[in-house]
Structure 1
């Protein structure tokens, strides 16, 4: 009696890579060449080369100009690249979002969490943790003030130019002069920010000098009108300053003296404890 063969339930998902002529099966490639080329373009952006011209991407990748132009246009539309004011391109917010997903698993965020919560409990104010991404600060953790008085413009995954952020300035203060000038250019000061925002390298250098000597930086209405903040550095073993933590408050509720009297000491305690947990050294 002839029996029919009943296919297994998952047979329809199996792929037969054998050739009709019976020769040895060859592995099938599932590579999507256009996607690979787009990812290759993104790989050329580094901390040392945060922006590139399309012509430079052509030279680096060996991909023809028409193809590169289309890839860049597509990556721009999807938010993975963005244009600078001088026509160059740099990684966009979608890349930052992917980076943030990776950052969430970093030791820095996990290690800082209990200290951030303690700082928030002691001050009842918004606590932020940020790292440097090119000439921007990327906010990787945040515990907001409960009454929602502060602007929602800053969220986890948001970026702010480092020259306008207390977190950014504290991190920049740990750089050598050469490294600072490679990171910050005149375009870093572009845009409309707070009324007390620095606008020149000389003004920035003056604030960085104070941050180095004081061990913290206090600013009022530099990044956002109506917002004041005070930041302190976080150091990691073998890497120097890798991040900074700040407390942000409504300017209307805090004079400079009140910020120093109420917020500075618990902020410094948090930054020192996170630094020690990361194996960094405390500098007084």
Structure 2
């Protein structure tokens, strides 16, 4: 797996707070959430505290996001989409037993913006803030459903040349376009063993009231569990995306 830069490690640490609905978190909690050593996390937290981006409760010694960061975040992202998606993802996890994620397109990447955990899986799928190639992930290909061939080529050209993806990933533009054509017709994308060995994901687009593709909902889990339950996952995803689109249609 590609090593994270310092900026990516700090971003993952900050985004871990968003998974716990404002709950104060200890160093051990954050180390588990980010897959980092406690000493690394502690050093990053001290630096972020000096910058006003996190605050430590003097009594419990646990951390929360600082006001400076919260003020900056108030104007970022699509708050209505995130609010509507959280209960939908929770219900999806309850019904599938697998991790559920919401992803959006940022440049030529699929960006995970919301994640709900499953008790059955520790790290399946992307963490919040992780960006992934679009050609070899279910979320990425789901986000490409409305893109014409020229745009697909532009968004994936660099990544198709990368030798770091799984053997099941599309190897050239022709193979990618064939796979996309099949997935568009059936209305969902499946990526199994493409970006990570042992991982299978199923994704379905979410559209706003005007019909624009704005996000995808994705369920991910170990291939050994999920590969034989694709049809069930599709039914659950269809219900989830329908519920999310309905909620968005009621937003003033």
Given the two structures, how large is their TM-score scaled by the length of structure 2?
Answer: 0.65
> CA separation in 1, counterparts of 2:163 and 2:243?
35
Q: Is the 8 A contact 1:104 1:140 kept in 2?
A: no
> CA separation in 1, counterparts of 2:152 and 2:227?
31
Query: Using a 3 Å threshold, how does the CA distance of structure 1 residues 136 and 188 change in structure 2: closer, same or farther?
Result: farther
Query: Using a 3 Å threshold, how does the CA distance of structure 1 residues 118 and 104 change in structure 2: closer, same or farther?
Result: farther
1:269 aligned onto 2:239:
yes
Query: Using a 3 Å threshold, how does the CA distance of structure 1 residues 188 and 108 change in structure 2: closer, same or farther?
Result: farther
Q: Is the 8 A contact 1:103 1:140 kept in 2?
A: no
> CA separation in 1, counterparts of 2:180 and 2:247?
25
- CA offset at residue 212 of structure 1? 1.1
> CA separation in 1, counterparts of 2:121 and 2:92?
17
> CA separation in 1, counterparts of 2:206 and 2:133?
19
Which has more radius of gyration? 1
1:176 aligned onto 2:140:
no
Query: Using a 3 Å threshold, how does the CA distance of structure 1 residues 239 and 149 change in structure 2: closer, same or farther?
Result: same
CA deviation vs aligned residue, 1:247-272 (integer Å, no higher than 9, x gap): 1011122334x221x21111111012
1:208 aligned onto 2:180:
yes
Secondary structure, aligned partner of 1:254: helix
**Which residue is equivalent to 1:238?**
210
**Which residue is equivalent to 1:70?**
none
Equivalent pairs, count = 188
- CA offset at residue 243 of structure 1? 0.6
**Which residue is equivalent to 1:157?**
129
Unpaired segments of 5 or more residues in structure 1?
Answer: 1-76, 81-92
1:259 aligned onto 2:213:
no
The two structures, once aligned, show a CA RMSD in angstroms of 3.0
Query: Using a 3 Å threshold, how does the CA distance of structure 1 residues 103 and 201 change in structure 2: closer, same or farther?
Result: farther
- CA offset at residue 108 of structure 1? 1.2
CA deviation vs aligned residue, 1:206-232 (integer Å, no higher than 9, x gap): 111112100111221111100001110
Bigger relative CO (Cα 8 Å, ≥ 6 apart): 2
